[in-house]
Amino acid sequence: MENQIMKLAEILKNSQNIVFFGGAGVSTASNIPDFRSSNGIFSKKLNRNISPEQAVSHSFLMMHPDEFYDFYKKNLIYPDAKPNDCHYALAKLEEMGKLKAVVTQNIDGLHQMAGSKTVYELHGTVHKNYCTNCGKNFDADYVLAADGEPICDVCGGKVRPDVVLYEEGLDQNVIQNAVKAISAADTLIIGGTSLVVYPAASLVYYFKGKHLVLINKSATQADSSADLLIQDDIAKVMRQAVEAMEA
């Protein structure tokens, strides 16, 4: 373990263009559970249980907005969540000029809260919401305070989160920026997710750099393709590695 941290610190020292790709494990270290691990909700209207994936789908929002927001507010917005040592370590690497981008599947905005500037949020963010009629923007508090589906205070239109729901496509601009950053990277660190899950699996193809680092608590099928594999807590690993490279 100690040895692996030193190896990672060495890689960070020798890299000039690091990109971090993060999954749910980065957020669970801030006590934000993966919503897919919830039980979903019991829909009174449909009289049956709805899986977490169905509950955050486009069609569920369209057909049962009040139940959608019921689940969404309880399972996707964590207003009191704070960045953890992984977020701070990455912000520091960016400040040092070593890290060029964070690509994340998380929607909690914790990277920006920790000070990261270039963050590509593949699945959007709970902190941006917009009126589907006039385009006015709203924060997460506005959605949390609403009774059921949030309604625009200007035009009365429906307000929805700028989050990519199931059945919806990813934002092509965000994808292009992520691909560009990964293609140019000399080191790609994948943390808190396995390499085999979409879109990590497809994005990693664009990486042509020297060091592919995988940090994940559990083993994954793709472990063998990593140059350095650390099976441990992402927050601890990133903090210790950045501390070691500075020492």
- Which residues are known to be catalytic? 123
In this chain, which stretch among 52-60, 80-88, 131-139, 214-222 interacts with Zn ion, using CB under 5 A? 131-139
Binding of Zn ion by 145 (CB under 5 A): no
Asked if 151 interacts with Zn ion (CB under 5 A), we say no
Stretch that binds Zn ion, among 46-54, 70-78, 136-144, 185-193 (CB under 5 A): 136-144
* DSSP letters spanning 56-105: TBHHHHHH-HHHHHHHHHHHT--TT----HHHHHHHHHHHTT-EEEEEES
134 binds Zn ion (CB under 5 A): yes
Residue 231 found at the interface with Zn ion (CB under 5 A): no
- Nearest approach, Cβ of residue 29 and Zn ion (Å): 37
For residue 14, count other CB atoms closer than 10 A to its CB.
13
CB 108 within 8 A of CB 117: no
Q: Single out the residue of 115, 157, 199, 209 in contact with Zn ion (rule: CB under 5 A).
A: 157
Closest among 14, 198, 186 to 100, alpha carbons compared: 186
* Spatial separation of the C-alpha atoms in residues 193 and 216, rounded to whole Å: 6
Between 85-95 and 234-246, two packed helices, what is the crossing angle to 10 degrees?
40
Q: How far is the CB of 134 from Zn ion (least distance, A)?
A: 3
Regarding 1 and contact with Zn ion (CB under 5 A), the answer is: no
Minimum Å distance from CB 149 to Zn ion? 13
Residue nearer to Zn ion on the CB measure, 57 or 129: 129
131 binding Zn ion? (CB under 5 A): yes
What token pair was written down for 164? 């990519």
CB of 61 to Zn ion, least distance (A): 17
Count of chain residues binding Zn ion (CB under 5 A): 8
Q: Does residue 154 interact with Zn ion by CB under 5 A?
A: yes
Give the whole-angstrom CA distance, residue 137 versus residue 160.
Answer: 10
> Cα separation of 27 and 96, whole Å?
23
Q: Which residues pair with 191 in a beta bridge?
A: 22, 215
Regarding 158 and contact with Zn ion (CB under 5 A), the answer is: no
In the complex, least distance from residue 138 CB atom to Zn ion, rounded to whole angstroms: 9
In this structure, the dihedral spanned by the alpha carbons of residues 105, 135, 40 and 46, taken in order and rounded to 10 degrees, is -150
Q: Is 132 in the site for Zn ion (CB under 5 A)?
A: no
Q: Is 163 in the site for Zn ion (CB under 5 A)?
A: no
Smallest distance, Zn ion to C-beta of residue 153, A:
8
Nearer CB in complex with Zn ion: 155/170: 155
CB-nearer residue toward Zn ion: 83 or 150: 150
- List Cβ neighbours of 130 (8 Å cut-off, separation of 6 or more): 136, 137, 138, 159, 160, 162
What is the distance between the alpha carbons of residues 230 and 215, in angstroms, rounded to a whole number? 5
Summarize as ranges the residues that interact with Zn ion (CB under 5 A). Answer: 131, 133-134, 136, 152, 154-155, 157
